[in-house]
Amino acid sequence: MRTDTASSSLQALDRLGGKIRTGHLDRLAVVYVRQSTMQQVDRHQESTRLQYALVDRAIALGWARSQVIVIDEDLGRSGSTAEGRPGFQRLVAEVGLDHVGLVLGIEISRLARSSRDWYQLLEVCAVFATLIADADGLYDPTSYNDRLLLGLKGTMSEAELHVLKQRMLEGKRAKARRGELALRLPMGYVRHPSGEVMKDPDEQARAVIETVFEQFERRGTLNAVLRYLVEHDLRLPYRLPSGVRKGEIDWRRPARMTLSNLLRNPTYAGAYVYGRRPVDPRRKIPGRPATGRTTAPAEHWEVLLKDRFPAYITWAQYERNLDQLHSNTAQGGGVVRKGPSLLSGLLICGRCGLRMATQYNNNCRGLRYTCSRMAVDYGEPLCQSLAGEVLDEEVRRLVFAALQPAALDISLQVAEDLEGERARQRQQWEQRLQRARYEAQRAERQYQAVEPENRLVARTLEQHWEAALEAQAALQHDYERFLAEQPSPVSAEERDQIRRLAADIPALWQAATTTDAERQAIVRQLIERVLVTVLDDSEQVTLEVHWAGGHRTRSRITRPVARLQQLSYYPQLLARVVALHEQGLACPEIARQLNSEHWRPAKRRKTFTGPMVATLLARQGLHSGTPKQQHTADLPRHPHEWLLGDLARALDMPSPTLFSWVRKRWVRARQVTHRGRDLWLIWADETECERLRARRQAPRQWARHVRVGDPPSTEHAA
């Protein structure tokens, strides 16, 4: 009776204020119903009933029952945003279409917890003169006083949500700081009903997780670990978090992202971590609330408590794994690449500090390291470039010297690794067979326990039993094939052979069974980076090898260069050649004398020859007076025609290079026979000579960097 009296009094006050007019009654009255979570819908049913009872409130205010509609699509949805709330969006649309005369909610927080959404609804209601009502009264958004009151209520509603969130979040953080907040555990762990975290009780599940860490420490890359798991048909143990099979292990095939997350998870090192993957609002995508998570560095984790869980690896090994994963990226040097280069990804330019690129030519038989990053990005001149064979040879020598003292330890470790690897593989197969036998026996017990008269159930259980027996037989067949393909255990003879090979590391390095990728992997285990500096574009190159552990080794090598003028001792060489020529020695005799004095020419030649000495003399304006020049004195020629050797000396370039231009038809040449000899005559006036000199001085264009999967390049340097 009191409720009816209060409702009648409120109705009279509303009408007395003149807020409800005929135009409002001609339109719909909308009752908006919302609860924040499905838990509230299930447990707080009184609030839901109060909201549905607003239909009677609308009828009491003068609306017919047929004109009152209820929008309850947002039950179980948060009001912090309009996204994902189809009911609220429908309400705004109906108001915007001028279909609504009154909006009713039990309180403002039910309509919106965000000022942005609330003021949007308020503006639309003001434009179309739609009234808003809650348990406290009736409001007209076109009235300043009512609008002010509605704005205050909306602000308080948003502030209330903020306070509630902060209160709950601070409690959550306080619990996390004590290490008591129950976080989702990765595979390989289970939580006891008492709350204690322990390793998975399934022996096979633990063995697979341990295998992943062991293989990554040995192989160094995610792809190698993934290939190993696929090759040996190993699956990852995933315990189902929900459903009818909750808590059971679901064996799933390994994936690259799963392995990456496993190796980066500090839980496997026994650490309790909170705040490792915070949410960045800038990365959230509308309609996908699970996105926006980022991975924070360790120094930004809110909570890090070590030695809280049983560990699969040590914390030091966890940090090594992270360093290895970073070094496998392009920023860290990259993984082992295809090709014979030992230093791909490890070579640093000593001039600019940038990483040098690896280039192959001549169908991968030629190797070159080039610092071309600034030239590619900014059009600057090429920083430096050098042949790769001599550099790799020097690094190989340093690696052999570093490995020699540990040869015996290496041999013993290799033998132990082989035996341990084979034992782990057999153990994993035995665990899988044991699980298959158990499944078959359980299916048999279920079939035997059913009553024979229950034929429908018996047939189904019989099918399950047959399927389990077939799976066991197939697995047994695969295991026998695995044993047949595996080599026998390491014998005493094999141990002796391993020791002999380890004692002769160069032979092991050059063995046909040792791949380029394995050689690169050995170098990467010992060397962090190599700084290379070409001195004044000469044949002298300085090396600074940064070994793992912080030790550094400095060395100097001699690289092959294209021109004699690049040699650092070129002036002394010319002076010595002139001095020997003045002593009356012929070109072959001068060449033998230079070789005996350990002078070295450019490029890859080990010794000087007579024609090379003749070229050096011609550059000084001296003539060797060789019989060849005397025999060609009466050779008939056209104007501006040169013998190949004469033009090479005039252009200050090697004769073989000029001959290669003849074969490529970069010059005008003809072949003649004079006194029984085939000679090349090349036409070149002053303009042509200048053009050839410019081509000779032009920067060389080397083959591009070979990527994995690309066919080898066949380009040569000009």
* Cα–Cα distance measured from residue 429 to residue 588, given in angstroms and rounded to the nearest whole number: 73
Contact 601, 612 (CB under 8 A): yes
* Cα–Cα distance measured from residue 353 to residue 356, given in angstroms and rounded to the nearest whole number: 9
Helix (H) or strand (E) holding 357: strand 357-361
Q: How many CA atoms lie within 13 A of 519 on its CB side?
A: 26
* Cα–Cα distance measured from residue 22 to residue 674, given in angstroms and rounded to the nearest whole number: 121
* Cα–Cα distance measured from residue 561 to residue 540, given in angstroms and rounded to the nearest whole number: 10
DSSP calls for 526-549: HEEEEEEEESTTSSEEEEEEEETT
Copy the structure tokens of residue 29.
Answer: 């009255």
| CA distances, 687 to each of 477, 640, 649, 694, 696 (Å) | 80, 11, 17, 11, 14
Report helix, strand or coil for 138. strand
Q: Which residue has the tokens 């080397």?
A: 702
* Cα–Cα distance measured from residue 125 to residue 151, given in angstroms and rounded to the nearest whole number: 13
Contact 356, 363 (CB under 8 A): no
Q: Just list the catalytic residues.
A: 36
Distance, C-alpha 137 to centroid of its chain: 60
Q: Which residue has the tokens 């109060």?
A: 50
Query: In angstroms, what is the C-alpha Rg of the chain?
Result: 42
The closest alpha carbon to 239, from 194, 195, 190, belongs to 190
Instruction: Write the CB contacts of 57 (distance below 8 Å, at least 6 apart in sequence).
Output: 7, 104, 133
Contact 620, 575 (CB under 8 A): no
Task: Return contacts of 158-162, CB within 8 angstroms, 24+ apart.
Answer: 158/113, 158/114, 158/115, 158/118, 160/109, 160/113, 161/79, 161/80, 161/109, 161/113
Detail the DSSP E strand segments found in 22-170.
Answer: 28-35, 68-75, 100-104, 131-134, 137-139
Q: Between helices 587-596 and 570-582, what is the axis angle to 10°? A: 130
* Cα–Cα distance measured from residue 141 to residue 149, given in angstroms and rounded to the nearest whole number: 10
Phi, psi for 641 (deg, rounded to 5)? -100, 140
Strand order in the sheet with 100-104: 68-75, 28-35, 100-104, 131-134, 137-139
Copy the structure tokens of residue 77.
Answer: 């949805």
CB atoms within 10 A of CB 33: 22
Detail the DSSP E strand segments found in 615-685.
Answer: 641-643, 669-674, 677-683
